[in-house]
Amino acid sequence: MTFAPGQTPTRVILEQAGGWSRWGGRLAWVIAGISLLVAVVSAGANAQYFQTNPKVIEQYHSLATTATDKVAIVEISGAIMGGDGFARHQIDQVEDDESVRAIVLRIDSPGGTVSGSDELHYRIVKLARERKLPVVVSMGGIAASGGYYIAMASGGREETIFAEPSTITGSIGVIIPHFDLSQFLKRFEIADDSITSGPLKEMLSLTKDRSPELAERERKVLQGLVDEMFTRFKTIVKEGRPELDDETLAAVTTGQVFTAEQAVDYGLVDRIGFLEDAVSRAVELAGLSAETARAVRYKQPRGLLDEVLGGASQAGAMASLRTLAEWTTPRAWYLCTWWPAVVTSR
């Protein structure tokens, strides 16, 4: 075939078109992938946008899927470091949701700070009284010390505290941890020479070398604090378990932990049962039925970028650092553990 000057062969034109087709197809896939990613992120954002509380996502748990009346399962897990964590966000969610008719406290915690445990207990009791909501407790693997303290928010009603067969509970008491590293530092000729406004300002210091007289004075002050907080703990237990007589109360407030069966025998727990048993009891106390109630639970919002970029891991690392800082701050604890608290309330 003869071509005029400047005319491009058909074969060459077809090859160029084929090359563009290949690149165009790849570009189309890239655009499609980006569009899908944007759609997923937007869907997640919209799902959270329509939540009444941006810090909490409600999920269906059990019973009737279409029922409007709810039983709210509020989870308190891990070491209780304060009253402003996810547990508090769940309580706020229940407070704002008029369709909640009962609360199930799902406790899996060794306890934590005195102030954090007391605040959560106070807020749950206050909410239950104002809204006339029955509170039922479901204990997980451990509900000890501050965890048991919060369980007393059930208000002393019959058949409202359930423990699983393997639950550990009790540990009713107060501890102010203290470690003395002064003798260790002496070996390296290191001395704590802090300037204070008074001799008791350095109470619980890890590095201060105290005289026997000052050490005894500090211990008396701290023991007085522990005794006062312990008295409040026993008062809370008595309010939550009014059937306990003085002799039994003295027997269960030694700091000892108990198995679920032992706790039932002492009257610290009403029944052996699981979460679904506690939900059923809450439904009953609220005057509802399995057909007219919907059990819901809550989770913390997590974006797509948290999963892809490890944001959740970074948040967990920050939480651990916060817990370490909390531990190094002198304070009293309703806590059942032999080691410093290294996990925070989830």
Which of 9-27 are b and which e, b meaning 16 or more Cβ less than 10 Å from the residue's Cβ?
Answer: eeeeeeeeeeeeeeeeeee
Among the listed residues 255, 285, 256, the one whose alpha carbon sits nearest the alpha carbon of residue 270: 285
- Please report, as a single letter, which amino acid is at residue 114: V
The distance of Cα 262 from the centroid of its chain, to the nearest Å, equals 26
Residue 333 near residue 177, CB atoms below 8 Å: yes
Rounded Cα distance, 331 and 78, in Å: 18
Q: Can you name the residues that pair with 108 across neighbouring β-strands?
A: 77
Helices 114-131 and 212-240 cross at an angle (nearest 10°) of: 20
Q: What's the DSSP call for residue 80?
A: B
Rounded Cα distance, 3 and 73, in Å: 82
CA dihedral for 315, 316, 318, 323, sign (positive or negative):
positive
- Which active-site residues does the annotation give? 145, 201
Residue 184 near residue 192, CB atoms below 8 Å: no
* Alpha-carbon distances of 317 from 31, 195, 324, rounded to whole Å: 35, 34, 11
Rounded Cα distance, 121 and 151, in Å: 8
**Angular region, 239: left φ>0, alpha ψ -120 to 50, beta rest:** alpha
Residue 335 near residue 110, CB atoms below 8 Å: yes
Q: What's the DSSP call for residue 173?
A: -
Residues 6 or more apart whose Cβ sits within 8 Å of residue 54: 48, 301
Rounded Cα distance, 160 and 282, in Å: 8
